[in-house]
Structure 1
Amino acid sequence: MIHRTHPGPGRRSRSRARRASRILLASAAVAALLGVDLPDAMAGPPLGVTAQAPPDAEADRVGALFAGGLDGGHFCTAAVVRSDGHDVIATAAHCVDRWDTTVFAPGYRDGEAPYGVWKLTGVYVAPGWRDGGDPDADIAFATVAPVDGGRTGAVEDLVGGFPVAAEQAPDATVRVIGYPRGQEAPLRCANTTALFSDTQRRIDCPDLSSGTSGSPWLVGGALAGVLGGHEAGGSVPEVSYSAVMGDQAVELYREASVTD
């Protein structure tokens, strides 16, 4: 059973494939969230090259996580995913240990939050993370609501949301979009991946330094993991990791995204 987490000590470090590209159908309700309205998944720099991500439909679904507000400094990355309530984001579990004081700014650039600032209203993490910090459970989903008093509606209505996929081929090509802590715009890199272990995937991309934890790993425009897991995502900027998404992550997503 998946449980909501409660505030705990913060950790701001950076943080099998069995069948190729199988979209997860955890339930009929989740299946309805997995559609074909995807941003262009082919644009961008050559494989293995990291460059600034231009503002577009894909990058605008990704945002920075801040401590308290935009003046608190961004420390992790998150992305909007599809949900019944249009209000769910995905990130690394180690990014939301202090979720009650964390806010999300999709499309954040140069000190501006073009789609507003969103407070986290609930967080879903697996027991393996909550009880022992299991790196194989380093993924979280959270619901958000607007901080801006005059803003109405839901975040997915503004920027769209990534469908959720898993069980990718060991050599799937993944695109990562994230916010290094010292930069005010997101970076983007794509490369083929490999299994570091049965439960962890790795990618070689330069400059994905502290702050990129929680960055979405996109396969064909769908979220297939987040930067985190082994070594909280990696101990050097050139190599990053993600826990392999399996049944537990699907259940986590279902609990966060499906309205009963």
Structure 2
Amino acid sequence: MIHRTLHRPARRTRARRASRVLLALAAMAALISVDVPDAVAGAPLGVTARALPDATADRVGALFAGGLDGGHFCTAAVVHSAGRDVIATAAHCLEDPDSTVFAPGYRDGGAPYGLWRITGVHVAAGWTDGADPDADIAFATVAPLDEGRGRYVEDVVGGFPVAADQPDDAVVTVIGYPRTLETPLRCANTTTLFSGSQRRIDCPDLSGGTSGSPWLVDGALAGVLGGYEGGGTVPEVSYSAVMGDRAVELYREAADAG
């Protein structure tokens, strides 16, 4: 049975969004040595293209209903944790975690790094109680369906560090899987604040299935595609809830549970 944790945030002052804080847990000294791929080098801003296989794209994968034959419906990414078994996605992508599997590096019908089942889900009470778009981010723990693939997903593909409180105009790289494609797309652009709690990016062709796609700033996770309008109703404009204290607590809970 999937373990679920509902986080009810304590009252505290929001940290200034302009400060870039790399959220390594104090106990996770290993994070200092985490390989952070350059996610935006050489990519023209505002142009969407196929994401070639590399250390960045391989940490991103598609979410399937049951298995590869079930069709992929969302995107997720591996994030660094002490337990080496945590992924991040949109909360609305984990409505049925018992039948959801994650395929990192998925391409053309194949799962080169195996399939991983969901073992625990960490979402904010704001999402479970009322589908608050500002709480549309989730962290989940995973375990291999095939033990021969390795015990921990981060040992297989690596994991993105988590970085909150980004500046309003951060350059973000999004990597995700539209339902109609069997390879991921990549787009980078300067973001703007749509509201105090939602970030916007202009990138074409990020259609259905890209929900949960990681938003990467300097190779670190700073959000996921989701939030306002479920991430956007047109493929040219996408949104992410601003990653603040509430999301950080979810990340810590998932990391501690691994």
How high is the TM-score relative to the length of structure 2? 0.91
Equivalent in the alignment of 1:94: 92
What whole-Å deviation, never above 9, does each CA across 1:150-183 have from its counterpart, x for those lacking one?
3332110011000000111000000000000010
**Matched residue SS, 1:183:** coil
Matched to 2:117, the amino acid is K
Q: Specify which of 204, 219, 222 is matched with residue 221 of structure 1.
A: 219
* Closer, same or farther: CA 44–98 of 1 in aligned 2, 3 Å: farther
Which stretch has the larger CA shift, 143-152 or 22-31? 22-31
Q: 1:123-162, aligned counterparts within 5 Å?
A: 123-162=121-160
Q: SS state of the match for residue 47, structure 2? A: coil
Partners of 2:177 and 2:210 within 8 A in 1: yes
**% identity of equivalent residues:** 78
Gaps of 5+ in 2: 7-13
Over the aligned positions, Cα root-mean-square deviation in angstroms equals: 1.9
| Selected match of 1:66 from 60, 64, 67 | 64
User: Alpha-carbon deviations, 1:47-82, whole Å to 9, x = none?
Assistant: 000000000000000000000000000000000000
SS in 2 for 1:252: helix
User: 2:34, 2:84 → 1: CA distance?
Assistant: 16
Residue 118 (structure 2) aligns with: 120
Aligned to 1:197: 195
Matches within 5 A, 1:174-253: 174-253=172-251
Separation of aligned partners in 2, 1:238 and 1:172? 18
* Post-superposition CA distance 1:116-167 (Å, at most 9, x none): 0000011000000011101000000000011124333211001100000011
Cα distance change on mapping 1:251 and 1:32 into 2, 3 Å: farther
Equivalent residues of 2:22, 2:161 under 8 A apart: no
Pick from 106, 118, 127 the counterpart of residue 104 of structure 2.
Answer: 106
Give the 3-state SS of the residue equivalent to 1:258 in structure 2: helix
Aligned amino acid, residue 46 of structure 1: P
Letter in 1 for 2:31: L
2:253 counterpart residue number: 255
Give the deviation of 1:224 after TM superposition: 0.1
Task: Kindly state the Cα deviation for residue 236 of structure 1 after the two structures are TM-superposed.
Answer: 0.2
CA apart distance, 1:27: 4.4
Structure 2 equivalent of residue 10 of structure 1: none
Aligned residue pairs total 249
Structure 2 counterpart SS, 1:150: helix
Assess if the C-alpha contact under 8 Å between 2:117 and 2:143 holds in 1: yes
SS in 2 for 1:141: strand
1:189-247 Cα distance to aligned partner (Å, 9 max, x none): 00000000000000000000000000000000000000000000000000000000000
Structure 2 CA distance, aligned partners of 1:253 and 1:133?
Answer: 19
User: For residues 141 and 154 of structure 1, what CA distance do their matches in structure 2 show?
Assistant: 15
Give distance in 1, aligned partners of 2:33 and 2:195.
30
